[in-house]
Amino acid sequence: MSSNLRKRLAVAGVGVPLCALLTYAGGVVFVAGLGAAAALGYREFAAMMRGTGTRVLVLPGAVAAFLFPFAVLAGGLEGGGSYAAGLMLAFPALALATVELSERPIRAAACTTFGVFYVGGLLALGVPLREGGLLSASGDDAGAGRMAGTLLFFLPVVITWLADTAAYLGGRAFGKRPLAPRVSPNKTVAGAVCALLAGIAAAVVYPRFLLPDIWVLNLVSTLAFGLVVTGLAIIGDLAESALKRECGVKDSSGLLPGHGGMLDRLDSILWAVPAAFLFLLFA
């Protein structure tokens, strides 16, 4: 076993149970976990931007990203929207007060706002997926509701993990034609097709066995759900690859040995979790 693989397995052995425990706990504990991930991801984004010579508001952005899930927990989607509007006013004012004109304060505010919305805002949509009761558990058992919320939140996460694995294995076995050579030369069309098939299969099998009493989508809608979530997860992966290529870095950071940075682990999930929430909200 290679040293890199041992590191990846060690990080996963700690990270996966920790994520499961935080999600099962729900409420403020779960939201604090999302906020911490958002703050770390934003700091990596800020570091990459600064590496290109672009000024950003590092600490205010990290704090704002951390608090984004709390705003959604406290006020729902309306509260999250109000919080986002407040940030769009606060960041330009703060940048004008603290950033020299030669360092382009408005661009600094724009980059800060994008980073906070991209990491904190998208992750915050995991809150109503876990807490919002989109699919109600049968009965009044609080434990059943907690487990249902946990399993529902992990549905797009598991779809993403399985799709990533299938993309890697399928690309190695069958990949010849690059999917997006200017963005990520190692990703192939065959890998993307394998990812879509695996993601759709996971979307069908996971609810059948883990959410049998509350899953309300019919087979056609479930297939569409899997296609949308997996497709957007692939785009999220490509988007982060493009960001790293623009910034001239291989990984967003070295925070997670063998995995890169927090953004490297969140790239697909940042798109998959909102996709799952919005699909179920309007289904």
End residue of a domain, out of 105, 132, 159: 132
Token representation of residue 256: 């997670």
Do 195 and 283 fall into the same domain?
yes
Number of domains, the chain? 2
Q: What local confidence, expressed as pLDDT, does residue 138 receive?
A: 44
Do 187 and 114 fall into the same domain?
no
Do 280 and 150 fall into the same domain?
yes
Which residues, 6 or more positions from 97, have their beta carbon under 8 angstroms from its beta carbon? none
End residue of a domain, out of 110, 132, 154: 132
Which is it for the CA torsion 239, 243, 246, 249, positive or negative? negative
CA distance 99 to 121: 24
Q: What local confidence, expressed as pLDDT, does residue 177 receive?
A: 93
CA distance 37 to 273: 14
Q: What local confidence, expressed as pLDDT, does residue 4 receive?
A: 67
Do 109 and 226 fall into the same domain?
no
pLDDT beneath 70, residues of the chain: 1-5, 133, 136-143
CA distance 92 to 117: 15
Residues paired with 260 in a beta bridge: 256
Do 176 and 269 fall into the same domain?
yes
Do 148 and 247 fall into the same domain?
yes
Could you tell me the residue range of the domain that residue 41 belongs to? 1-132
Do 144 and 235 fall into the same domain?
yes
CA distance 114 to 222: 32
How far, rounded to the nearest angstrom, does the alpha carbon of residue 226 sit from its chain's CA centroid?
16
CA distance 62 to 45: 10
Phi-psi group of 133: left, alpha or beta (phi > 0 → left; psi -120 to 50 → alpha; rest → beta): left
pLDDT in tens, 9-22: 788 888 899 999 99
Q: What local confidence, expressed as pLDDT, does residue 142 receive?
A: 62
Do 159 and 71 fall into the same domain?
no
Contact by Cβ (8 Å): 95, 57? yes
pLDDT in tens, 234-265: 999 999 999 999 999 999 999 988 789 999 99
Do 182 and 121 fall into the same domain?
no
Residues paired with 178 in a beta bridge: 188
Do 279 and 146 fall into the same domain?
yes
Do 127 and 145 fall into the same domain?
no
End residue of a domain, out of 78, 110, 132: 132
Q: What local confidence, expressed as pLDDT, does residue 139 receive?
A: 45
CA distance 210 to 212: 6
Do 112 and 159 fall into the same domain?
no
Write the secondary structure of the chain as one string of H (helix), E (strand) and C (coil).
CCHHHHHHHHHHHHHHHHHHHHHHHCHHHHHHHHHHHHHHHHHHHHHHHHHCCCCCCHHHHHHHHHHHHHHHHHHHHHHHHHHHHHHHHHHHHHHHHHCCHHHCHHHHHHHHHHHHHHHHHHHHCHHHHHHCCCCCCCCCCHHHHHHHHHHHHHHHHHHHHHHHHHHHHHHHHHCCCEEECCCEEEEEHHHHHHHHHHHHHHHHHHHHHHCCCCCCCCHHHHHHHHHHHHHHHHHHHHHHHHHHHHHCCCCCCCCECCCECHHHHHCCHHHHHHHHHHHHHHC
